[in-house]
Chain A
Amino acid sequence: MEETKFTPQTWPDKPEQATPEAKNKFVGIWIFICSDITLFASVFATYLSLKDKGPAGMEFSAAELFELPLAFVMTMLLLTSSLTSVYAMYHMKNYNFKGVQIWMTITVLLGLGFLALEIYEFYHYVHIGFGYTQSAFSSAFFTLVGTHGLHVVVGLVWIVCLIVRNAKRGLNLYNAPKYYAASIFWHFIDVVWVFIFTVVYLMGVLG
């Protein structure tokens, strides 16, 4: 079946769930995401209980540290990258491989922009003395946002591998579920970020 050449007319309606292997991948990525929910729940809960806590006389607090314009731009980049991967899946359903590759590449570029801003942000905090070991607050903050950043890196490497490896293969029922699983993972990264910008940045600025 890997060698079968499809046409838009023979391409199944649900290519991401057309084969037994694809169905397993579909359920598999969701089970992984459910376990990831508990991972993020624990680092979120840790952050909330240790927010602004540290050695006596600590000069850093969430209200003074975080800057909303940066968080806003990062949110927009990630939210838009979520939409571009939806476009990629739209083209996958229409058996338009070029469309899949182009929109996935745009997703990667937006993700890279997000990652660059996050690295800049972390670098800035460490530069002003707010390093990982500075306080309970800083450890909890970097663990939470860093775990999310790590997911972004993994997602980017994953999607780039898919784009490069399948560049000459074209779309088939072997790689379509792979693109789909990667896009579900990418949406989940955005879901987690929605809570991070709300709980860490917006509620942090409120004090």
Chain B
Amino acid sequence: MGHDTQVQAKTKAQFEYERHHNAVHMRKQVINFAIMIFLTFLAFAVVVADFSAYFIKPFILLLAAVQVVLQLYSFMHMDDKKGHHIGVIQTFVWFGAVIAFTFFLTFLTIIWW
């Protein structure tokens, strides 16, 4: 019951179009992966290169943020506008991030040793 769906055979053109679409999508994913690897290299490289910590810290945090957005929107398909309840999911994730930020703020300003 819960697993029911309408089974429809695709026409040959439809089928080939979907195949092609999937392949193009996969190529984009590989490009995103290459970007993520590059960002990781960059983050480790600036730390090893020993620039000023005042420059490195915000810079690698920015790289991490970019990489996480790439993961969420490409690998985890949050960019898929036809995803079920995707708007709700996006709202949830970003509110989760806001709550996470308040955790950092309170812990770092209230606790001292």
Contacts and interface: CB of A to CB of B under 8 A. Distances in A.
Interface of A: 1-2, 4, 6-10, 12-14, 17-24, 26-27, 30-31, 33-35, 37-38, 40-42, 44-46, 48-50, 53, 68, 72, 75-76, 79, 82-83, 86-87, 90, 93-94, 136, 173-174, 184, 187-188, 190-191, 194-195, 197-199, 202-203, 205-207
Interface string B44-84: 10011000010011001101100110011001100000111
Contact of A26 (B3, B36, B84, B97): B84
A34 B71 contact: no
Contact of B7 (A4, A31, A187): A4
A106 B97 CA distance: 31
A30 B93 contact: yes
A173 B3 contact: yes
A44 B71 contact: no
B108 A49 contact: yes
Contacts of B108: 45, 48-49
Given A42-B103, A48-B108, A207-B53, A10 B93 contact: no
A4 B2 CA distance: 14
Contacts of A188: 76
Contact of A17 (B36, B83, B103): B83
Interface string B1-37: 0111101111000010011001001100110010011
A30 B92 contact: yes
A38 B99 contact: yes
Chain A residues touching B, majority SS: helix
Nearest to A202: B47
25 contacts: A7-B9, A8-B15, A9-B9, A9-B10, A9-B15, A10-B7, A13-B18, A17-B84, A23-B85, A27-B89, A30-B92, A37-B100, A40-B100, A41-B99, A41-B101, A41-B104, A45-B103, A49-B111, A79-B36, A79-B40, A83-B30, A184-B76, A191-B71, A191-B72, A194-B68
A21 B5 CA distance: 10
A7 B36 CA distance: 35
Nearest to B19: A94
Given A30-B93, A83-B29, A38 B103 contact: yes
A173 B103 CA distance: 40
Interface centre among B19, B88, B89 (most CB of A within 10 A): B89
A136 B113 contact: yes
Contacts of A90: 22, 25-26, 29
B1 to A, nearest CB: 8
A46 to B, nearest CB: 6
Contacts of A184: 76
